[in-house]
Chain A
Amino acid sequence: MNVTISLDNFNRLPVSRALRATAGFKRKQPLRAVAMPGKIIIEAMPSSGGRLVRRKGRMVWTGELPDGVNSANAVNALRDEI
């Protein structure tokens, strides 16, 4: 999802319901904001649950992903940020 937004009169950054839903953000979910010149990235905090298990010789992580997030849209989002 790609939209144009503006800072409001109090310099706050409004993030619409549609943007939050697309990102999979839930109510009161802790988020991490990373600012750099010309860009702010707001993303879900790393999961604190889950563990590593060995399956067929590989390590597999059992933690839950944020709502609406999967491997396909995570890679697409990453490339959109570049």
Chain B
Amino acid sequence: MKSDFWDTSALLALQCASDDFHAAAEAVFDGDCFAARRSRAEFYCAATGRMGVPPAVALQLLESLDEFVQWISLTDAEETRVVKSAPRRGLQGRILFDALIAECAAKAGCKMVVTANPTHFRHVLPHTDIVDLTVQK
């Protein structure tokens, strides 16, 4: 049964064998999971940008996840609620993207988030177990 939620960095680590956190991601991955639909675009952008993955390869990596990942979207109202709550929650800068992804984890009812960027998730999901791939490498 799916119960864990993977953020964009964890999905990239899982699909790129030479990534610093690939072994940790492989060790944690149990066959299926939830992730935010917006992570699909982030995956492609980060893979083909700084990570230097050829575009056609990045697309294949992404499509091969479809069998294992249930992609979660936010409605306009849910996204608006997260953005409006940002000042009250002390969210400033790029952490807002993690807050939007975290909202998908909450929507899916996940109790565990797998990430290679743990700091922001500890802030936006303080009551959720964070699996930090950076300490498991």
A residues contacting B by CB (< 8 A) are 23-24, 43-48, 50, 52-53, 55-66, 69-80, 82
Contact = CB atoms under 8 A, between A and B. Distances in A.
A74 B20 CA distance: 12
B129 interface: no
Contact of A59 (B15, B19, B46, B48): B15
A47 B17 CA distance: 14
B94 A76 contact: yes
27 contacts: A46-B54, A47-B54, A48-B54, A50-B18, A52-B61, A56-B29, A57-B68, A60-B15, A61-B15, A61-B61, A64-B18, A69-B52, A70-B13, A70-B19, A70-B21, A71-B8, A71-B10, A71-B20, A72-B116, A74-B46, A74-B50, A77-B50, A78-B42, A78-B49, A78-B50, A79-B94, A79-B97
Interface residues of B, number: 41
Contacts of A43: 49-50
